[in-house]
Structure 1
Amino acid sequence: MIMSSNQAGIDEKIRQIENIFVETPQIKEIFEDIDEAMDTARIIDYKKQPTSILITAQSGMGKTTIFDHYLAKYPRYQAEEGDVVPVLSSTLLDDKSPKGAPGHMLRDLGDWLQGKGGTRGELTDRFVVQCNGVKVEAIFIDEFQNAIENGSDNIIWNTSEWIKTLVNLTGRPVILFGMPYSKQVIDTNIALIKRFPVIHHIDEYDLETASGWLIFLDEVDNQLPFEAKVGLADEELGVRLMCAAGGNLSRLMKQIIRPAAKKAVRAGETKLTIDQLLKASIKIQRVPMESNPLNFDVPLDSLEVVHEIAETQYNKPYSRKGNWKYRQVATEEKLSRVLSKN
């Protein structure tokens, strides 16, 4: 089937919308810190204690973006001597057994025994040998909070000891990604505090960081495939978008800007409109017209930035900022009808 030039143009614009990426100053700093840790470990041939890094954030604030950036930058490949895995990526499952984490990481590495057979110590030793064999340069562990989810103090301590052993035996930088409360694993063990001297927390946006939010919106506007800018960074629209998204970048892009922009492209529009942003929010976020922050008939001074947080996280360490407003939600609940003052 031959694709028409018009359809090809639409497809290209939608691809451009889906590939929008804004490197914020903090994301840039994180990239630089990871690159430096990897370069230093390689230069000293993994013979000394590396600099490891913890990156925490609520869902939707860029952890996955960082993760994917390094998987694309350092892909697995086949060499004459066998597989090469420059960056080992692993996602920890909610498995409290002592052998759960090392076994799962062995499977991700391509272990011929699928991470089975042996004690936790034996699995860890096998992991170290295979890391050397496939020339791992860094170890990225996502969803790190799963290692301690609803865990006892003993589980948290054992997890911290295992991470310390992983850093010591491999000599590779370990980059942990997790929810804010996963920092308690580092705090539990003074030896880990020394091994993870670099900790980044990526906050959602609120009114005190509105300038950074507006800069982000302006760059998104620049990357949208339209002849004219919508003015996302205009102060009032920018604040309304912050209220609609609760300061969360994923909600902003996935629930408002991307669906509205794709709708405009398919309709042949040359500019994204505020009305299209409003309609996307009503449809996807299910925030009704009468209270939707993107409805300019709703007074701006009646709106607040309300941060969404899972009920299971609300009372966990490092999960909230004292002067921010939060709404607890069940894990599957969507942001809806809560963004304006009652």
Structure 2
Amino acid sequence: MSQEDAVTGQPAPSPLKQLDGLFIEHPAFMDTLSYILFELSVQDELAEPPCYYVTGPTGIGKSTLIASLLEHYPRIVDDVRTDMPDGTVRISDRVPMVSTTMRPQPTANGLLRSMLKELGDKGWKSGDREELQNRLTLQAQACRTRTIIVDEAQRAVDRDGVLRRYDIAEVLRDINESTGITIILFGMGRTRHLFDHDSQIWRRFEDEIVVPPFEWGEDDGSGAVPECRQCFISLLVTYRDQMPLPFAASVDVEDPEVALRFFYVSRGVVGLLKKLLLRAVKIALRMQSAEITEAILNEAFDRAFHKDVKAESLVNPWGPLWNRQLPVPLVHRDEIAKPKKRPRKSGPRSNRSRKSDRRAEVLQALTLG
């Protein structure tokens, strides 16, 4: 017979499901959320709506941050009527904030279609870039949309820092310019190279919001524990208190020597810490263990991080090679130390480029005349 929740009377979640749904609202996360919410609260007071890009390593909590923002600006299903500038009438929901994800090998048209789909446009599958942008402007107006979130924005940039598609950056600029909508990009560190080629786009996305990993800090010789280290240990204590299975007595997360092992595995990233804990709970359930022991953590690391051992020369912090070393940084996964520069590929020029050339030629002729 399955256990039931004492409050709801519903079947109690399994230990794995309970841990998988657990998120600790740590200070860095809450600071970032508060900052963005404040910026959005004053966006209508500015003549030019600001845009932002939020960066951080995989597992830092960017997806949870997006979910929290959407909770603060929920969709309202009310079939509001809007008289459009072209004389038509649109009936739509109020969607103050919409979120979409940039696909692998993204295109400008694909990004526009995904935005239209999220806004409820029935014809989102068809149309060229100009038509899609025009429809997005109208649909966003009908939905009272003030913010568009684009997740996985680093997919528009190669791992060597070269922008794949210039038209994606241009579309983001045009949306912001024509609609007054704030655009927030979420992605890994190389997202910032999305704006390198165009100063106008860079000016609109000049505010980078970094969600940093936890830090271990350095000992200053006074015996005092660095504040950042205390924050990470507090995170471990919170997980310990909410874990579906307890830690064994030998796994005292309040002991800095034990906490360092968890920090080494996670590199200060909550998602990597959770990856270890989920694997440990799986192993404990399979072994029918009532607690998570050092031996279970040893096996959990080997199973969950075997690729990292090869790629980053990590050692098992519950194994014989452990010597209390600090972890290697995660820079190479998300950042670009020395982005390569390569010229834009030549090819057929867009209609927009040709029109710009013709306007320049006319202007020059008038000047000379």
User: TM-score per shorter chain, which class?
Assistant: 0.7 to 0.9
Residue aligning to 1:327: none
What is the rounded CA distance, in whole Å, between the counterparts of 1:178 and 1:312 in structure 2? 9
Identity of aligned residues (%): 23
Q: Shift of residue 263 of structure 1?
A: 4.9
1:307 and 1:150 map into 2 onto residues whose CA distance is 17
Secondary structure at the counterpart of residue 231 of structure 1: coil
Give the aligned residue type for 2:100: S
Name the CA distance, whole Å, in 2 between partners of 1:175 and 1:277: 38
Give the number of equivalent residue pairs: 309
Q: 1:249 pairs with 270, 273, 284, which one?
A: 270
**1:63 equivalent in structure 2:** 62
- Of 38, 43, 54, the match for 1:36: 38
Q: From the superposition, tell whether residues 72 and 312 of structure 1 become closer, same or farther in structure 2 (CA, over 3 Å).
A: closer
Give the letter for the 2:23 counterpart: F
CA–CA distance in 2 between the matches of 1:312 and 1:40?
31
Cα RMSD after superposing both structures = 3.7
Normalising to structure 2: TM-score of the pair?
0.70
Task: Output the amino acid matched with 1:40.
Answer: V
CA distance in 1 between partners of 2:336 and 2:203 (Å)? 28
Which AA in structure 2 matches 1:245? S
Aligned equivalent of 1:147, options 152, 156, 159: 156
Matched, 1:283 2:303: yes
- Which segments of 5 or more consecutive residues in structure 2 lack a partner in the other structure? 81-91, 218-227, 341-369
Question: Which residue of structure 2 aligns with residue 88 of structure 1?
Answer: 98
Query: What TM-score, normalized to structure 1?
Result: 0.75
Q: Could you tell me how far apart the structure 2 residues matched to 1:33 and 1:104 are?
A: 27
- What corresponds to 2:51 in structure 1? 52
AA aligned to 1:260 is: A
Partner of 1:300: 323
What is the identity, as a one-letter code, of the residue corresponding to 1:32?
A: S
Q: Does 1:11 align with 2:30?
A: no
User: CA distance change for structure 1 residues 273 and 193 in 2, over 3 Å: closer, same or farther?
Assistant: same
CA deviations over 1:95-145 (Å, ceiling 9, x no partner): 464433223322332322124213x23321211111111222311101111
Distance in structure 2 (CA, Å) of the matches to 1:91 and 1:250: 19
C-alpha displacement of 1:193 = 4.1
**Offset from partner CA, 1:314-337 (integer Å, 9 cap, x none):** 65659xxxxxxxxxxxxxxxxxxx
2:22 is paired with a residue whose SS is coil
Larger Rg: 2
What does residue range 1-342 of structure 1 map to in structure 2 within 5 Å?
3-5=2-4, 11=13, 13-41=15-43, 44=45, 48-81=47-80, 82-95=92-105, 97-118=107-128, 120-149=129-158, 157-205=166-214, 207-208=216-217, 210-225=229-244, 230-254=251-275, 256-261=276-281, 263-264=283-284, 271-286=291-306, 291-295=315-319, 297-301=320-324, 303-307=325-329, 317=339
Q: How far apart in 1 are the matches of 2:139 and 2:164?
A: 26
